[in-house]
Amino acid sequence: MIHYSEKLSWTEFHELANEGAIGVIAVGAHEEHGPHCSLLTDTIISNALAERIADRISGILLPKISYGESWSVNDFPGTITLEPETLTALVLDIARSVKKGGLRALIIVNGHYGNMSPITLAARRMRSEENYPVLILNFPELETIAKSICESSPAGGMFYHADEFETSIVLAEYPEGVKMEKAQPDYPEFPPAYGETQVLISSFNPVGVFGDPTKASAEKGERFLAAFTESCMKIVNDFQKTL
């Protein structure tokens, strides 16, 4: 059962906190995902997963953070990027408040690579300064799951962006966020020293797609969500043992 904080009054929140409820929150992004896929793709995906996790642990689902750290695509119209310091501060303020409000722990379902460092920094400060447990989930077992579901392979062997995986989940969760007729595969050639330099993606991938979204389907999206729910719940179960 999901306890959406949007449905709760403070007294109801208080009761759930007293019963040991854990908070769950998705952090996504508002950034280009090719000509066919929603700007909110990462937000849609992470929130879908956050709902499933909250459901399993009867957690309180907090409103998603729809904006993330999107430096590498910041020059695409439609991308809205937060400075890493802003995202760290935002997560830290939220974490401090849910601790004060009595939640036993906070689980962050992250849907975007760029968010990892800023969120981790916030989580570390919650540990050091408040000794408060924060779990961060970054699509555990992504490679294995993608390999088992996708027909196409990821660009550059490891980049999943606006591709079969992401497009499938948006098709499953928010079909109005996909225009399949605009989907097209793109396996860009990565520039020299790509991983070690700070390159804007637009310079070699002006379309904003890594991989092949034409193979996407809502059915695959459901399978992805089911698989990630299991891979996440293994970690969540472990986490709960430490509380």
Interatomic CA distance for residues 239 and 123, integer angstroms:
14
Among 49-57, 82-90, 143-151, 218-226, the segment contacting a copy of itself (CB under 8 A): 82-90
How far apart are CB 95 and a copy of itself at their closest, in Å?
9
Q: How far apart are the first and last CA of the chain?
A: 21
| CB proximity list for 108: less than 8 A, separation 6 or greater | 25, 26, 27, 91, 119, 123, 134, 135, 136, 137
Contacts of a copy of itself in 109-168 (CB under 8 A): 117, 120-121, 123-124, 126-128, 133-138, 140
In 3D, which of 132, 135, 106 has the Cα closest to residue 120? 135
Binders of a copy of itself among 3-32, rule CB under 8 A? 5-14, 17, 30-32
| Among residues 82, 172, 216, 227, the one that binds a copy of itself under rule CB under 8 A | 82
Of the candidates 33, 112, 161, 220, which one interacts with a copy of itself according to CB under 8 A?
33
| Cβ-based nearer residue to a copy of itself, 81 or 168 | 81
**What H or E segment, with its residue span, contains residue 85?**
helix 84-100
User: Which H or E element spans position 195?
Assistant: none
User: Least distance from C-beta 222 to a copy of itself, angstroms?
Assistant: 20
Interacting positions 181-240 with a copy of itself (CB under 8 A):
182, 191-193, 196-198, 208, 235-236, 238-239
State the nearest-atom distance from the C-beta of 147 to a copy of itself, in Å: 18
Residue 102 or residue 152: which is nearer to a copy of itself going by CB?
Answer: 102
Q: What is the DSSP letter of 157?
A: T
CB neighbours of residue 102 within 10 Å: 15
